[in-house]
């Protein structure tokens, strides 16, 4: 293998990136003002994203379950391109990856039953792990699932569940043996219906269109066949799912950071001050140069983590490093973009104001920066935890 090929994505991934970029340019970009105004992704756009021939959320999953078989590397490429145009649409495809990856821990029958609904039928699966009183401390959930004959009865409240209003299914964590703490948590698929209702709609400052909700489970009955994997191992499945999905989430950060820097560069070329273009002032050009270098470094780490995952390697440390670095790069990029545009950077009609709100909202998803640093430090000093 040549040195050059080590730094090139496979031709099929490059072609996929091109296809997604063209789709997003044509279908997503024109609808961004409407998404911002109405705080909702139009139904017709959701259908185009989730249904064949696009079905972007199906990219990583094996072909035998209706996926495209392009692995995490393929989905990572998609995540970056979609987020460049709109963060909420990036989350829409990300929750499919997140929920579907959890189902991969199930039995063969479960994978054949549920994954085609996600990959081929365009059904939306929302991932419900966080609760009102706990986010980072996932073992502190209070939602319970009690066995009752051939069913489990689920009771509890989930919090900040993205696209819960659009979802037909939920992948949820619940305690089947509360006395066992973290070892008593199990993972389930619950169909929206009796016993499942939406609570309060939450309004974040950014990412308009993704609309997180409180979801309340009241005597929600699910068949025992909907228990994913083994009882009591749900938290482990969920954590391993996060190790996988933090990679593509970080790629979304890259896309948004790239969009912000592109706007800053464009403005610095066009705007003049004291008879000179803004980019001729080092106070403007140097921060942009540094941020672009940081962005490229983060991209290499993110795509390396995706490549490692597809090779079957443990990426607990690498995915945490990738997401933590990408989040720092994103926050730096949007700050530079706003600073470059000055007062214009704070006005809603200018994209960088949206980028700033989206970035500050998005970096807490799937593990705060502090939790990611904890994951990395444990892999260094307590490697047996990996």
**Which tens digits make up the pLDDT trace of 328-375?**
999 999 999 999 999 999 998 889 999 999 999 999 888 888 888 888
Superfamily of domain 125-232: Butyryl-CoA Dehydrogenase, subunit A, domain 2 (2.40.110.10)
What pLDDT does 379 receive? 85
Residues 174 and 157 sit within 8 Å (Cβ to Cβ): no
- Is the confidence at residue 233, as pLDDT, over 80? yes
Collapsing DSSP to helix, strand or coil, 328 comes out as: helix
In total, the chain counts a number of residues equal to 386
Flag whether pLDDT at 376 surpasses 90: no
β-bridge partners, 201: 213
The architecture that CATH gives domain 235-385 is Up-down Bundle (1.20)
- Give the domain ranges of the chain: 3-119, 125-232, 235-385
Question: Is residue 171 a contact partner of residue 128, using CB atoms and an 8 Å limit?
Answer: yes
Q: Average of pLDDT values for 236-259? A: 96
Sort 381 into a burial class: Cβ within 10 Å, 0-12 / 13-18 / 19+: exposed
**Superfamily name and number for 3-119:** Acyl-CoA dehydrogenase/oxidase, N-terminal domain (1.10.540.10)
Which residues pair with residue 220 across a beta bridge?
154
Q: Residue 324 above 90 pLDDT?
A: yes
Look at residue 272 in the predicted model and tell me its pLDDT. 81
Per-residue pLDDT, 166: 95
d(CA 94, CA 253): 12
Q: What is the mean pLDDT of the chain?
A: 93
Among left, alpha and beta (phi > 0; psi -120 to 50; other), residue 342 is: left
How large is the average pLDDT for residues 278-291? 91
- Please give the Cα distance from 238 to 62 (Å, whole number): 19
* Beta carbons of 257 and 334 less than 8 angstroms apart: yes
Can you give the pLDDT at residue 372? 86
Q: How many beta carbons lie within 10 A of that of residue 102, not counting itself?
A: 29
The whole-angstrom separation of Cα 54 and Cα 100 is 17
Averaged pLDDT for residues 180-200: 94
- For the stretch 34-77, pLDDT in tens is 999 999 999 999 999 999 999 999 999 999 999 999 999 999 99
Q: Is 168 helix (H, G, I), strand (E, B) or coil?
A: coil
């Amino acid at each position: 293998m040549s040195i050059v090929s080590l730094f090139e994505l496979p031709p099929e991934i490059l072609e996929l990136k091109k296809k997604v970029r063209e789709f997003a340019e044509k279908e997503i970009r024109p609808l961004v003002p409407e998404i911002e105004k109405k705080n909702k992704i139009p139904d017709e756009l959701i259908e185009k994203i989730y249904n064949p021939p696009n079905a972007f959320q199906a990219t990583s999953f094996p072909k035998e379950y209706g996926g495209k078989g392009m692995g995490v590397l393929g989905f990572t490429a998609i995540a970056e391109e979609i987020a460049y145009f709109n963060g909420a649409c990036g989350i829409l495809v990300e929750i499919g990856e997140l929920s579907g990856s959890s189902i991969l821990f199930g039995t063969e029958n479960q994978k054949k039953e549920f994954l085609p609904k996600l990959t081929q039928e365009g059904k939306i699966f929302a991932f419900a792990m966080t609760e009102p009183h706990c986010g980072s401390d996932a073992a502190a959930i209070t939602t319970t699932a009690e066995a009752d004959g051939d069913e489990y009865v689920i009771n509890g409240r989930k919090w900040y569940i993205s696209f819960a209003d659009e979802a037909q299914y939920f992948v949820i964590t619940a305690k089947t043996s509360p006395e066992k703490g973290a070892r008593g948590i199990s993972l389930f698929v619950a169909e929206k219906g009796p016993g499942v209702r939406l609570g309060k709609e939450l309004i974040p400052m950014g990412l308009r269109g993704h609309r997180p909700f409180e979801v309340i489970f009241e005597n929600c009955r699910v068949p025992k066949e909907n228990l994913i994997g083994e009882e009591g191992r749900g938290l482990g499945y969920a954590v391993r799912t996060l190790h996988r999905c933090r990679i593509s989430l970080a790629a979304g950060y890259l896309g948004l950071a790239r969009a912000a820097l592109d706007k800053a560069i464009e403005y610095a070329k066009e705007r003049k001050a004291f008879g000179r273009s803004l980019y001729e002032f080092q106070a403007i050009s140097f921060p942009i140069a540094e941020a672009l270098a940081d962005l490229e470094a983060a991209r290499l780490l993110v795509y390396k983590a995706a490549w490692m995952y597809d090779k079957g390697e443990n990426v607990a440390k690498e995915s945490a490093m990738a997401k933590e670095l990408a989040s720092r790069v994103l926050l730096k990029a949007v700050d530079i973009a706003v600073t470059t545009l000055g007062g214009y950077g704070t006005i809603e009609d200018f994209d960088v104001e949206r980028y700033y709100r989206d970035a500050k909202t998005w970096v807490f998803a799937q593990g705060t920066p502090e939790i990611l640093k904890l994951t990395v430090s444990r892999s260094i000093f307590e490697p047996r935890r990996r």
